[in-house]
Amino acid sequence: MFGSKPYLVVRANLDPEVMGEFEQWYTSTHLPHVLDIPGIVRAYRSDWKRGSANWTALYEFADEDAVQGAMASAQARVARQDWERWLPHVSELTVEVYASLTPLPTYEHQN
């Protein structure tokens, strides 16, 4: 999945009692707002758990040049404001941008 494009990774630990409502809101409201952000080209949802996070979403940027503009856009502000209603139900939230990933040079082991 990862290649030469940067990603925004959002992890949260949401109260399990609101997870159903959150997932419905995420699909119908938040995800369309995120995909309206200029420079975001794709979204992924992961069941991968890290620490106490029970929600992980990844958003692919078009390229490294798109990151700054996307994060500063009016559409990104709308997406961030979307989250405010869920903050009372979140005990942990991390938002990270990962720069382009490139493969390491090939290493040959000589036995």
Whole-number percent of the chain with pLDDT over 90: 71
CA 95 vs CA 55, 71, 108: distances in Å: 12, 11, 36
CA–CA gap between residue 93 and residue 80 (Å, rounded): 12
Q: Which residues pair with 8 in a beta bridge?
A: 59, 97
Task: Dump pLDDT digits (tens) for 39-90.
Answer: 999 999 987 776 789 999 999 999 999 999 999 999 999 999 988 999 999 9
Pairing of strands 40-46, 90-98: unpaired
Band the pLDDT of 109: cuts 50, 70, 90.
low
**Domains of the chain and any CATH numbers:** 7-98 (3.30.70.100)
